Amino acid sequence: MVRILPPLQNKRACLTARPFFIGKPGAPESPQTAEALEALEAPAPQPPPQKKTQKLRNIVAIIGRPNVGKSTLFNRLVQRRDAIVDQTSGVTRDRNYGIGDWNGKEFSIIDTGGFLTDDEDIFNGEIRRQVGFAVEEADVILFMVDAKDGVTPLDEDVAQMLRPVTDKKILLVVNKVDNHNRQNEALEFYSLGFSHYHAISAVSGSGTGDLLDDVVKDMETEQKAQKDDIPKITVIGRPNVGKSSIINAFLGQDRHIVTDIAGTTRDTIDTRYNLFGFDFYLVDTAGVRKKQKVSENIEFYSVMRSIRAIENSDVCILMIDASAGIESQDINLFSLCERNRKGVVIVVNKWDLLEKENNTLKEYEERLKVRLAPFSDVPVVFTSVLKKQRIFKVLEAAKQVHENRKRHISTSKLNDILLPILKETPPPTNKGKQIKINYITQLPTSYPSFAFFCNLPQYIKDPYKRFVENQMRKLFDFCGSPMTLQFRSKN
């Protein structure tokens, strides 16, 4: 039987019209034909109602040519010294995010690199892309210029770039207006085509109140978000080991500038990651070199921010170049994480560049843990960021280490399981005196910390402390998390 549908004008007619059939007159319809007719005559399904999406926090982007004071204004608005500020042009490269608040209205702020039209520097093209991303994201754009230098060709280039942007609020901000003469000189910026400008001094804060009034004028008042306890995972390592590349791979976008030049990243950049069941902040940091190799002030500030990022983190992902192996600076960074009681995941990147045999991975891991001793109970993940090999195992390991770091063992469980082992293998006698451990409990700290009450705590030596720690790591999963053991007098 052949179906012939009549010509129809729209899809709804196609769903409601009854087809004609060519066949014997009076022939009964088959069950398949009856089902098809019922399906065609049924009312068209209605699409489910769309859920209203919640509007994100308002975003303010600061853009302009290099060295006009964007990072200084950014630090003032977020009320922290997050962005590196220096007399040198082109210090900022990646987009740096912060949160500002004015008159009860909260908004996100983006600091961007200086906009340049030439490609003499390898970073200029990447910085232009980052500026473009910031303009797309923003609701309000602060176009910043320098009253001291007047209108420059680069200012005109930035103004030309912003002219097609008609759906966003753009405010011209004339910075470095520190005296009355500069107030008069700022009038020349009307030539950029803006009907109004704000004269400010980002260093002293003069004029920033009126600027912020204009910024938040059209914003809706939102209830301030409460401080969350989302963990911070900081990616650290020597320069050019793939820190920015792995974060870009996690996010699936070019969030950070990546080049072959060591020291590309300067600021510490926080990014919220809430995909595939994960929810934490990823923190990209500048590569840390040996102190004697740091000659520039900018690199010194970058290293200091990297160290501060380690201190503020929950878990650190220490990246190592597989071809270079673990070096003394890697050991120093690892020790810094251990001293600050941070969880650690070791990531051996560029694993695809090594020639491998049957036991290459196992032998490499064993050699690495020998260098890390005595704290060698850490997960090691071998990756190739370029080829996207095992990169999400890094996130899984970091999540597990964070859970291990937060693990709490009940006092009864500690005494029931661990105390018999310690009584069977007590501390060595000292001066003929026998040491007895009577009671164990976990202390209320942000990392695993335990108190052992005994009669002579001053005679317990480090080898026995390491024995106790190894027993605890065998019994309870604290992989990747440093712990402290405190032996106290029972009185």
- Beta pairing class for 140-146 and 169-175: parallel
pLDDT for residue 302: 59
Say which amino acid occupies 269. I
- What is the spatial distance between Cα 144 and Cα 317, in angstroms, rounded to a whole number? 36
Structure tokens at 273: 């990651």
Listed residue (287, 290, 231) closest to 259, CA to CA = 287
- What is the spatial distance between Cα 13 and Cα 177, in angstroms, rounded to a whole number? 69
- What is the spatial distance between Cα 426 and Cα 418, in angstroms, rounded to a whole number? 12
pLDDT for residue 52: 35
Name residues whose C-beta falls within 8 Å of residue 274's C-beta, 6 or more positions apart in sequence: none
| Successive 10-residue mean pLDDT values, the chain, 491 residues | 42 38 44 45 41 55 88 86 52 65 85 75 70 83 90 90 87 89 87 89 90 88 58 86 82 55 50 80 70 46 70 89 86 88 92 84 90 89 89 91 93 93 89 88 92 90 92 92 89 66
pLDDT for residue 35: 47
- What is the spatial distance between Cα 144 and Cα 154, in angstroms, rounded to a whole number? 11
Question: In 277-316, which residue ranges form alpha helices assigned H by DSSP?
Answer: 297-311
Distances (CA, A) of 151 to 111, 147, 188, 461: 21, 8, 7, 70
My answer on whether omega of the bond before 31 falls inside 30° of 0, hence cis, is: no
Buried b or exposed e, range 174-203, using 16+ CB within 10 angstroms: bbbbbeeebeebbeebeebeeeebbbbbbe
pLDDT for residue 89: 47
pLDDT for residue 254: 61
pLDDT for residue 308: 77
pLDDT for residue 301: 53
Let me know the angle formed at the C-alpha of 315 by 311 and 316, rounded to the nearest 5 degrees: 75
Hey, what's the torsion of the CAs at 126, 131, 136, 141, to 10 degrees? 180
- What is the spatial distance between Cα 344 and Cα 335, in angstroms, rounded to a whole number? 10
Neighbours of 469 (CB within 10 A): 20
What backbone torsions phi and psi does residue 297 show, to the nearest 5 degrees?
-60, -40
- What is the spatial distance between Cα 280 and Cα 50, in angstroms, rounded to a whole number? 28
Distances (CA, A) of 60 to 143, 164, 212, 228, 385: 11, 18, 11, 22, 32
pLDDT for residue 17: 39
pLDDT for residue 39: 43
- What is the spatial distance between Cα 337 and Cα 460, in angstroms, rounded to a whole number? 26
Name residues whose C-beta falls within 8 Å of residue 11's C-beta, 6 or more positions apart in sequence: none
- What is the spatial distance between Cα 263 and Cα 357, in angstroms, rounded to a whole number? 33
Distance of CA 284 to the CA centre of its chain: 6
